Structure 1
Amino acid sequence: MRSVFHLSALALALATTPVLAKPLIFCSDGEPEGFDSAMFTAATTNDASSEAIYNRLVDFQKGSTKVVPGLAVKWEISDDGLTYIFHLRRGVKFHTTEWFTPSREFNADDVLFSFKRQLDKDHPGHTASKQGWPYANDMSFPDLIKSIEKIDPYKVKFVLSRPDAPFLADLGMGFTSIVSAEYGEKLVKDGKPELINTQPVGTGPFVFKKYQKGEFVRYEANPSYWGGKQPIDKLVFAITADPAVRAQKIKAGECNFMTYPKPADVPGLQADSKLHVQTTEALVTSYLAFNTQKKPLADKRVRQALSMAIDKDAIIKTVYEGRAAKAHLPFPPSMWGYNKSIKPLAHDYAKAKDLLKQAGFPNGFETTIWVRVGGGGSNPNSKLTAELIQADWKKVGVEAKIVVMEWAELLKRSKAGEHEVTINGWAGDNGDPDNFLTPNLSCKAAESGENRARWCNKKFDELLERARLVTKVAERTKMYEEAQKIFAEEAPWSALAHPMMTVVSQKNVTGFVPSPFTNNNFTGVNVK
């Protein structure tokens, strides 16, 4: 079993905690890839970086998809949808840390630095990320954003090359977090630009203090936070991959808060008088991605056959304990733009075998399924899911070997295209269908590797691009419905489930509001 957050690690994490401090211990489900969310896409990284350390120009109202002011107090959008002017918040201070003391407050220079480092390969901050800037690239920001101009220290103008309906909401996503230009420029001058990821400096509610790989991340409340100092003095992410161990620890009082319990453990957690369990619908899809650049998965008949062979009812019952809905399209039916007319492929072993025969594999073939250790928000037990799929595929002659690896390693290697099949998931970031389709299934995302199916369909891409150009929901819906038809026919994924989201806290934890995006933000949370 993977090393979990033992009491010795907890003691170390809180070694400097005064007796009267009020820490919140969050048993998180995975390792962060780093602490600069513009460099990564995983939800565990987002929680540990953008949600705790940083702010963005706009934010989402707690518990909803409504865009509200963040580091920008207001904005104007031109009638043609090409120009956005943001009026910036005054009096916002950057964190003071052991590695950096700011000499000024947040201003327009920080906005320009935060975006231009992702958009311009010649920008001095661009080399800070060894793996590139995946989200910005997959969202076509380098092509979309024609220019960013500083009108004055507290006013910034974005000029787009074309109208883009989701753009404002996109600015509330983690990868647009604002970093300190002064700090970034100092690191470049010192020849250490990459430290912006491991020694972060933001404007957010918590200041990063220490990270112990496989054990914990420790933060302290930002004493100068523009939104007011947080009720909790210390925040610790106790990295605990095994959901059963997370449940044990919160029952024992070793955690104040946990996410993604095993569905089978939920009734027991609900029965515990010391705990509060919140279960909500979320914009989440669990899926199995076929690497379409590898044979025989390059043949859509093979992908259709493998999808038909999967008994999704068994997965919902066994893995999710009924706390999920079957999926067959990229995003949940609760989101606008969902094509209700598309029927799922029937679970049919005989037809699956016939399709494999047509594709030239009457006796099946061998493949691998990559899964993460433990479970997360989209799938509480990836290994068990893979075992059920393995048994289904065996019935049509396909032998699948299951490979289990740490979450960060799986993300890194599958992004490089080393996998054949992998189980993954996606939680929506901004309440727009584009957020499920472009980052996961576009041609640009296939090039970057964030598209785990490595699938590129020009007609599908054109529909996504056209849909971003218009603002009327009815028009965009038609285009997304057409795009989903192509997805259903091509089967780059086998979408498995739309799970319910469950978080558990001690009853003395107040103020936490579940996010439809599954972000875990502890602003305003208290431990009484």
Structure 2
Amino acid sequence: MITRRIFTNSALTLAALSCSTSAFGQSLGATQDLRVALGFDDMASVDPHTSVTSINVPIVRTVYEALLAYPPGFLGASEVIPALAENWESSADKKTWIFHLRRGVQWHAGFGEFTSADAKFSIERVAGTTFASPFRQTLENVEAVHADDPYTLRVVLRDVDPLFALRMVNFQAGFIVCKKAIESGVDIRTQPIGTGPFQFDSYKAREKLVLKRNDAYWGGKPTLTSITWYFMPDDASRELALRTGEVHAIDLQARQDIVNRVRAQRLVVDIPKSGTPYWLFFNVRKKPFDDIRVRRALAHATDRDELVSFLGKDIADAEYSAIPDGYLGHIDQIEKYPFDIAKAKALLAEAGHPDGFAVNIAMSNAPTYLPYMQVIQAQWKKVGVALSFRVVDHPTYHRLIREDLNAIVMYQATRYPKTAQIYLEQFYAKDAAVGKKTTITNFSNYGDAMPGVDDLIEKARASTDSAVQLKLWEEAQQRIARDAVALPLFNQNAVIARSPLLDLQTQPGNMSFYMFSTKARILAG
């Protein structure tokens, strides 16, 4: 028996999901050159199969596409629509998946038509061991990929996976790259070649990336003629650039006072309910964090309410579980380590640190990291833990934490599909531990340096029974909480701002940066 999922009118589907944010009939601006300021020093790599920093997400998703996509303005756990694949189907046992590809889609820069050979190359590139993609584990269940004909792709899995279609979306491992471009020597780390609505024009390190309109885009010619992404790490500079009209959109530091100030300037502030979770990961390979008493002490020494107040009650809420609230499988019934200075001190003394200890770590200079870590630094000082930083730019921070250098890692991330499985695979599975060829984001080395939850992850992955999966995910969260290898802090909503003249034509979505559809436009002032 074959289970089919077919959409024959994707253009109509996309149109039905769009939502105008301006008055009907408002005239367009004389130029449609969009300018966006991002709060980072540079973009690092925009190869979608290696790109790990959040700054790359809006750039990559504007240039590249996947077989399937999330609806415009939305990234959920199970809602997907056709993209480079017009429809798809699976065998009854969920081990064979067939994707019927869209015909006539052209690669940027004259690299010809997109075919099943590109999709096969892309999946094997991520899933294979030679390229060492940080997203390899997402596709490690792939046994074979067959290009049955130029427009039919067949993927055979080792084990059942009823959620495999959700791995083929426009996020991380799901992106399709151009086989011919890569094999001809194009460095897609700085010169992306995709099929999306915008294509590479120019790049100047630590200054800007310019994308121009893809007039031949299969989904219809975009209204915007170009998008220029400026790298502007200074918060005040970005805000000033928006206020003076130098740029049309920026990302804001997620703080209530900043939101109030920008709104008072008659600019539009959007606060998507992104639920981006923040954690501290304790590296159990490094002393004294190999001692569970130390990890639990620091959990008790951390005041989440103070962090939420620092950000603003409309912007953040406390988190306690390894699986964020809003993800399929999240539970609250876990050990929570309430803020308790006396308990923290007692545990430190029991672990042989009655006067605390000192620890130095590399720390990102990003406004979405450093201020929050400074709050925690002040909290831990109250129990004798002297936390100091070597502040580096954000791309350098990402490189260093993946070299297993930090004893403590602050990290924030949204993962798709929004299920417990993807979080467990990327943050808590043994094969995802940093320092391995299969490194993803297991910064604690859980499961590698000490027993973890790999048995539960594997059983959940192999199950086609949703009730069994939920039970296994629940057990995994409870075990992670007991072992205290990660300290969940809070869920933060994204804060982004734009000129009233920027008409998105879709909802802002649940990302920390604006995403621009083919309908986005700049209105006349």
| TM-score normalised according to structure 2 size | 0.87
Aligned partners of 1:320 and 1:499 also within 8 Å:
no
Distance in 1 (CA, whole Å) between partners of 2:465 and 2:199 is 41
**Residue 223 (str. 1) matches residue 210 (str. 2):** no
Q: What residue identity is the alignment partner of 1:509?
A: L
Q: Which residue of 1 aligns with 2:522?
A: 527
Change (3 A) 1:449 1:367: farther
Distance in 2 (CA, whole Å) between partners of 1:343 and 1:292 is 19
Aligned partners of 2:126 and 2:173 also within 8 Å:
no
Instruction: Please point out which of 425, 443, 457 is paired with 1:452.
Output: 443
Q: Which residue of 2 aligns with 1:110?
A: 118
Aligned partners of 1:416 and 1:449 also within 8 Å:
no
Distance in 1 (CA, whole Å) between partners of 2:199 and 2:428 is 35
CA deviation after TM superposition for structure 1 residue 365, in Å: 1.2
Change (3 A) 1:311 1:459: closer
1:128-169 deviations in Å (ceiling 9; x for gaps): xxxx31112x32x23x10100011110010000001233211
Q: Which residue of 2 aligns with 1:5?
A: none
CA deviation after TM superposition for structure 1 residue 174, in Å: 2.8
Q: Which residue of 1 aligns with 2:406?
A: 419
Same amino acid, percent of matched pairs: 27
Q: Which residue of 1 aligns with 2:419?
A: 432
Instruction: Please point out which of 133, 143, 147 is paired with 1:150.
Output: 147
**Residue 61 (str. 1) matches residue 58 (str. 2):** no
Q: Which residue of 2 aligns with 1:7?
A: none
SS of the aligned residue for 2:508 comes to coil
Which runs of 5 or more residues in structure 1 are unaligned?
1-18, 127-131, 188-192
Aligned partners of 2:300 and 2:344 also within 8 Å:
yes
Aligned partners of 2:72 and 2:517 also within 8 Å:
no
Aligned partners of 1:370 and 1:423 also within 8 Å:
no
CA deviation after TM superposition for structure 1 residue 472, in Å: 3.8
CA deviation after TM superposition for structure 1 residue 426, in Å: 0.8
**Residue 91 (str. 1) matches residue 92 (str. 2):** no
Instruction: Please point out which of 165, 180, 183 is paired with 1:182.
Output: 180
**Residue 514 (str. 1) matches residue 508 (str. 2):** yes
SS of the aligned residue for 2:422 comes to helix
Q: What residue identity is the alignment partner of 2:399?
A: K
CA deviation after TM superposition for structure 1 residue 344, in Å: 1.9
SS of the aligned residue for 1:329 comes to coil
Which runs of 5 or more residues in structure 2 are unaligned?
1-28
CA deviation after TM superposition for structure 1 residue 243, in Å: 2.9
CA deviation after TM superposition for structure 1 residue 348, in Å: 0.8
Q: Where do residues 282-361 of structure 1 align in structure 2 (5 Å cutoff)?
A: 282-320=274-312, 323-361=315-353
Distance in 1 (CA, whole Å) between partners of 2:361 and 2:309 is 21
Distance in 2 (CA, whole Å) between partners of 1:430 and 1:251 is 36
Aligned partners of 1:284 and 1:331 also within 8 Å:
no
Q: What residue identity is the alignment partner of 2:32?
A: K
Instruction: Please point out which of 167, 170, 173 is paired with 1:170.
Output: 167
Aligned partners of 2:429 and 2:454 also within 8 Å:
yes
Distance in 2 (CA, whole Å) between partners of 1:279 and 1:91 is 38
Q: What residue identity is the alignment partner of 2:248?
A: N
Aligned partners of 2:200 and 2:210 also within 8 Å:
yes
Distance in 1 (CA, whole Å) between partners of 2:466 and 2:39 is 36
CA deviation after TM superposition for structure 1 residue 449, in Å: 5.5
| TM-score normalised according to structure 1 size | 0.87
Aligned partners of 2:199 and 2:212 also within 8 Å:
yes
Aligned partners of 2:272 and 2:511 also within 8 Å:
no
SS of the aligned residue for 2:228 comes to strand
Change (3 A) 1:292 1:157: same
Q: Which residue of 2 aligns with 1:28?
A: 38
Q: CA RMSD in A?
A: 1.9
Distance in 2 (CA, whole Å) between partners of 1:320 and 1:461 is 37
Count of residue pairs brought into register by the alignment: 481
Distance in 2 (CA, whole Å) between partners of 1:441 and 1:120 is 21
Distance in 2 (CA, whole Å) between partners of 1:374 and 1:198 is 22
Distance in 2 (CA, whole Å) between partners of 1:166 and 1:371 is 36
CA deviation after TM superposition for structure 1 residue 519, in Å: 5.9
Q: Which residue of 2 aligns with 1:134?
A: 134
Aligned partners of 1:283 and 1:428 also within 8 Å:
no
Q: What residue identity is the alignment partner of 2:115?
A: N
Q: Which residue of 2 aligns with 1:408?
A: 395
Q: Which residue of 2 aligns with 1:497?
A: 490
**Residue 281 (str. 1) matches residue 252 (str. 2):** no
CA deviation after TM superposition for structure 1 residue 242, in Å: 2.8
Q: What residue identity is the alignment partner of 1:331?
A: I
Distance in 2 (CA, whole Å) between partners of 1:432 and 1:421 is 25
1:283-329 deviations in Å (ceiling 9; x for gaps): 41011122221111111211111111011111111244652001111
Distance in 2 (CA, whole Å) between partners of 1:205 and 1:449 is 29
SS of the aligned residue for 2:259 comes to helix
Q: What residue identity is the alignment partner of 2:310?
A: T
Q: What residue identity is the alignment partner of 2:420?
A: P
Change (3 A) 1:20 1:335: same
CA deviation after TM superposition for structure 1 residue 458, in Å: 4.5
Instruction: Please point out which of 227, 244, 259 is paired with 1:266.
Output: 259
Q: Which residue of 2 aligns with 1:242?
A: 234
Greater Cα shift, 299-308 or 83-92? 299-308
SS of the aligned residue for 1:474 comes to helix
CA deviation after TM superposition for structure 1 residue 209, in Å: 1.6
Aligned partners of 2:254 and 2:315 also within 8 Å:
no
Q: Where do residues 342-381 of structure 1 align in structure 2 (5 Å cutoff)?
A: 342-375=334-367, 380=368
CA deviation after TM superposition for structure 1 residue 517, in Å: 4.8
Distance in 1 (CA, whole Å) between partners of 2:409 and 2:403 is 13
Instruction: Please point out which of 44, 62, 69 is paired with 1:52.
Output: 62
**Residue 77 (str. 1) matches residue 69 (str. 2):** no
Q: Which residue of 2 aligns with 1:190?
A: none
Aligned partners of 1:319 and 1:384 also within 8 Å:
no
Change (3 A) 1:369 1:333: same
Aligned partners of 1:387 and 1:402 also within 8 Å:
no
CA deviation after TM superposition for structure 1 residue 518, in Å: 4.2
Q: What residue identity is the alignment partner of 2:476?
A: A
Runs of 4+, deviation exceeding 4 Å: none
Q: Which residue of 2 aligns with 1:484?
A: 477
Q: What residue identity is the alignment partner of 1:196?
A: I
Greater Cα shift, 81-90 or 347-356? 347-356
SS of the aligned residue for 1:43 comes to coil
1:40-64 deviations in Å (ceiling 9; x for gaps): 2222122222x11111000001233
Distance in 1 (CA, whole Å) between partners of 2:451 and 2:200 is 43
